[in-house]
Chains A and B, each alone.
Chain A
Amino acid sequence: EAQVTQNPRYLITVTGKKLTVTCSQNMNHEYMSWYRQDPGLGLRQIYYSMNVEVTDKGDVPEGYKVSRKEKRNFPLILESPSPNQTSLYFCASRPGLPGGGELFFGEGSRLTVL
């Protein structure tokens, strides 16, 4: 089954404790992206990757890091989480071809930082 898998789905952590949200897709997609969703703000892009070893900042990259060492994986790293990073996070992927089609989303990871 074609899918984007995120882990963990739910996490409660404390300020300053480093955490990683993993994302993996099995569709051989070149393009991958992370979004955060906050009430009243819609989805805002954090980082994206056009292919292996190619990453770039989105609209709200502060406090986050990413890496793309393999095509299928695109982890999101919070080095020192703060309460304003409490949010619902989505990983998504699509083919990198011109046009590219719709984004396929993971099920979301709800993060609470105390």
Chain B
Amino acid sequence: AQKITQTQPGMFVQEKEAVTLDCTYDTSDQSYGLFWYKQPSSGEMIFLIYQGSYDEQNATEGRYSLNFQKARKSANLVISASQLGDSAMYFCAMRDLYGGSQGNLIFGKGTKLSVKP
């Protein structure tokens, strides 16, 4: 069965510094996708970044990058130059891309990031 583990319930980071949010996963699928979502206090789920299991390069989207280490089954999110608006809950998620597990997205329990001024 697929599983996502986020070991950091909460984290603090100083404004303008970089921060890494940890995510490890477990799956027997060969083709899978890893996703990160942000949930601010207003509650909506905002898609941040995606990494495919066969992608050779780490994904980047602006200040977000995904540190993908396939052999270690980790997909850590790196936020560079933290801003106050980055304070939110962050969820790591994964799903099979080609039909296994019906392609359902499963989530970790989340990490609450607080950015200090």
- A residues apposed to B, CB below 8 Å: 31, 33, 35, 40-45, 48, 50, 56, 58, 88, 90, 92, 98-105, 107-108, 110
Q: Is the C-beta of B97 less than 8 angstroms from some C-beta in chain A? A: yes
Q: Is the C-beta of B35 less than 8 angstroms from some C-beta in chain A? A: yes
From A33, A88, A99, contact of B104 by CB (8 A): A33
Least CB separation from B98: chain A residue: A98
**Across the interface, do A56 and B102 meet the contact criterion of CB distance under 8 Å?**
yes
Write the nearest CB–CB distance from B21 to chain A, whole angstroms. 14
Q: Which residues of B contact A107 (CB under 8 A)?
A: 43-44
**Across the interface, do B91 and A100 meet the contact criterion of CB distance under 8 Å?**
no
Q: Given A43-B91, A50-B102, A99-B98, A88–B108 Cβ distance below 8 Å?
A: no
**Across the interface, do B103 and A100 meet the contact criterion of CB distance under 8 Å?**
yes
Q: Is the C-beta of B45 less than 8 angstroms from some C-beta in chain A? A: yes
**Across the interface, do B45 and A102 meet the contact criterion of CB distance under 8 Å?**
no
Q: Given A43-B91, A108-B43, A103–B105 Cβ distance below 8 Å?
A: yes
**Across the interface, do A40 and B102 meet the contact criterion of CB distance under 8 Å?**
no
**Across the interface, do A42 and B91 meet the contact criterion of CB distance under 8 Å?**
yes
Q: Which residues of A contact B45 (CB under 8 A)?
A: 90, 92, 105, 108
